[in-house]
Structure 1
Amino acid sequence: MTLTQLEIFSLVAELRGFTLAAHRLGISQSAVSHAMKSLEQELGVELLRRHQSAVELSDIGEQLLLRARAMLGLANTLRQEAADARGMKSGTLRIGSFGPTSSIKLLPNILRRYREAHPGIEVHIDEGPDRQVTQWLEERRIDIGFVVLPEERFDTFALLEDQMVALLPISHPLAARSALSLTDLCDTPFVLTEAGSAELVSRLFTAARLQPNIRYRCSQLLSTLDTVSRGDAITIVAEGSLPDGGSPRYVKRPLLPAVPREVGLAVLDQRQASPATLAFIELATRMNY
């Protein structure tokens, strides 16, 4: 069993296909097939079920994938520690990011400083909803992720605090109020943004034993803002995720009681984090936002 075989197995499982994995790795599809066949023969189990259009993991394949990613993560840490001894001139850092707050307002400035300090580190960025970033961390697909705090499952580092606000069409009757409660927001069509702080918004209503009138679900904040601007629905978003300058077609109002939101970085285990990851954390936590 080799690390190369485990890397190919992990990528095939992630992309659900031999061709896509081969393209990503820059090798032939036959080389991917050979590596998987050899790994299955050595382990004596079927890891992958081949179908005409896709590949899926067997039950034992799902179980061993977590082990494989853990081994690949430790191997990457070893490489990073060796690189650190040479001045950290090379290596890879995999980052998970969600929503405009991290992808637009936090990450670009951090990355600019990080690249200046460590130009040899190759940075990979995956973007998805907040719950997907935490899943990527648990599955070891990424080294570090932006998350909404608190997150007890991980080692975390706070970066930024803002407030959750209600967003309403400019002509909505509730727009005349200076602040709004969750109860105020339950009788009007509601749009839920799947990206960003969707989990936090859902928890707020659940904790208050309230049910918003969800009529729309949008995968991106821009679609949510457009839905609100058209007058079709209202929503709750993080103030820090809104575009600078706002819009003449919607208004934001604070919630009563106020609902703070804290964004930070998370790693699965700080003790096993690579030097490149630790350097990113150190830089990010020293910056002013």
Structure 2
Amino acid sequence: MNLNLLRIFIQVAETLNITEAAKALFISQPAVSKAIKNLESSLRIQLFIRDKHKGLMLTEAGREILVLARQMKAIENSIYQIAGRENRLLSGRIKVGSFPAATTNLLSKAIAVFRAKYPLVKIELLEGVSDQIRQWVEDRTVELGIVASPFDSFAFETLRSDYMVAIVPADHPLAKEPMIDLSGCRDEVIFCKGGHEIAMNAILGTYGIELREGLTVQSAETLIRMVRNGLGIGLISHFTLSSVSHDLVVKAIRPGVTRDIGIIAHSFGELSPAAKEWVNVLLQTSREPEQDKEKSTRLDRQVPGS
């Protein structure tokens, strides 16, 4: 199997554009087209469909081969990394999927520490929501993913524990209450999605509460602006909230909703040497400072089930 043809195939499959693939690979468009034709001829199958309206699309076989090609590329990367490790010069690249709050709270420090230790290893970061990241790990678009639980069937290491909180303006009637009961404010909740939905529905369901959020947003910044403007009570994870600045009052909720933030992979044992070192650095740097732990503990005591 010609690994160079596979590298070109992966680039075309990920961009679905011959021109963009050629630019990324620093070769000519005819060279890219020829490489794809040679690979299709070698395999005796069609990898792409050329549609006049939709453009380039992968065939079903092409999608399956893309996953395997990524595995072969990862194995090649591992071979060079092992050789580099033996020469005391670890190099290569790691592709990591993360959601924005995890990037801010966990990865920024970890990347700085890792780069100082392994300057020849390149970290490629893709950001999305937990469901997207799980899919990226599944189809091997990324080697590792940082997601909110549940971790499904993936191998995982827990990085942080997390829980949901409510946020209100300082002049809100509930700002002075010790805790906000969700069953009493279902119609004025603004919910920030981000991988919490499964945990929210499962736990609230055991209390007979059906959360009918008035507004649903995708980012913490949007949620904060809406709450500040008096549009409702914000419901967000403590972990996500800690990644943005705000002047709102944070309240514990009843019933308590918890989850974990973790790193997932198909198998930690099959990771490249650089990826294994990255996991070690991430585990070391993601430990909460004692001061943060004390703050979390004080709020946890108010949150049943956390």
- Normalised to the residue count of structure 2, the TM-score between the two structures is 0.83
CA distance in 2, matches of 1:127, 1:255: 29
Paired residue secondary structure (2:179): coil
Structure 1 letter corresponding to 2:239: G
Give, in whole Å, the separation in 2 of the partners of 1:169 and 1:18.
52
Counterpart position of 1:219: 218
Structure 1 partner of 2:284: 286
- Of the structure 1 ranges 127-136 and 42-51, higher mean CA displacement relative to structure 2 is found in 42-51
Change (3 A) 1:35 1:111: same
* Cα separation, 2, equivalents of 1:75 and 1:245: 40
Match of 1:54 in 2: 55
After superposition, residues 219-258 of structure 1 pair within 5 angstroms as 219-243=218-242, 246-248=245-247, 250-258=248-256
CA spacing shift, 1:243–1:40, aligned 2, 3 Å? same
Which secondary structure does the structure 2 equivalent of 1:39 belong to? helix
User: Using the alignment, how far apart are the partners of 2:44 and 2:264 within structure 1?
Assistant: 36
Partner of 1:81: 82
Q: Distance in 1 between matches of 2:135 and 2:207?
A: 26
Larger radius of gyration: 2
Aligned residue number for residue 145 of structure 1: 145
Say whether the 8 Å CA contact 2:182–2:253 is kept in structure 1. yes
Shift of the alpha carbon at 1:10?
A: 2.1
Match of residue 157 from structure 1: 157
1:63 maps onto 2:64 in alignment: yes
Structure 1 counterpart of 2:263, which letter? L
CA shift for structure 1 position 74 = 2.0
1:274 — aligned with what? 272
Matched, 1:130 2:130: yes
CA-to-aligned-CA distance 1:192-250 (integer Å, 9 cap, x gap): 33x464554455456656443344443332222222222224332111222478533x3
State the Cα deviation string for residues 163-210 of structure 1 (Å, max 9, x = none): 2112334454444432224423422253433x4645544554566564
Q: Which residue of 1 aligns with 2:34?
A: 34
Does structure 1 retain, via aligned residues, the 8 Å contact 2:5–2:35? yes
- Measured after TM superposition, the shift of residue 255 of structure 1 is 1.9
Q: What is the CA deviation profile of residues 1-54 of structure 1, one whole-angstrom value per residue up to 9, with x for unaligned ones?
A: 322222222222222222222222222222221111111111111111123453
Conserved in 1, the CA contact under 8 Å of 2:130 and 2:148?
yes
Q: Is the 8 A contact 1:158 1:265 kept in 2?
A: yes
Q: Hey, what's the Cα distance between the residues in 2 that align with 1:204 and 1:22?
A: 50
Aligned-partner Cα distance in 1 for 2:189–2:278: 41
Quick one: which amino acid aligns to residue 218 of structure 1?
Answer: V
**Contact between 2:192 and 2:219, CA under 8 Å: does it hold in 1?**
no
1:106 is aligned to 106
Q: Secondary structure at the match of 2:124?
A: strand
Q: Alpha carbon RMSD of aligned pairs, Å?
A: 2.4
Count the aligned residue pairs.
286
With the length of structure 1 as denominator, give the TM-score of the two structures: 0.88
Q: Quick one: structure 1 residues 173 and 161, their matched pair in 2 at CA, closer, same or farther if it must change by over 3 Å?
A: same
Aligned partner of residue 213 in structure 1, secondary structure: coil
Alpha-carbon contact 2:48-2:59 (below 8 Å) kept: yes
- Quick check: 2:168–2:233 contact (8 Å CA) kept in 1? yes
Identify unmatched segments of 5+ residues in structure 2: 289-306
Change (3 A) 1:197 1:16: farther
Checking the alignment, whether the CA contact within 8 Å between 1:99 and 1:196 is kept in structure 2 is no
Range with bigger deviation, 274-283 or 70-79: 70-79
* 1:136 CA displacement: 0.8
Sequence identity (%): 28
Query: Is residue 2:95 matched to residue 1:97?
Result: no
Q: Partners in 1 of 2:69 and 2:274 — Cα distance?
A: 21
Contact 1:167–1:251 under 8 Å retained in 2: yes
Unpaired segments ≥5 residues, structure 1: none
**Residue 54 to residue 189, structure 1, CA distance change in 2 (3 Å):** farther
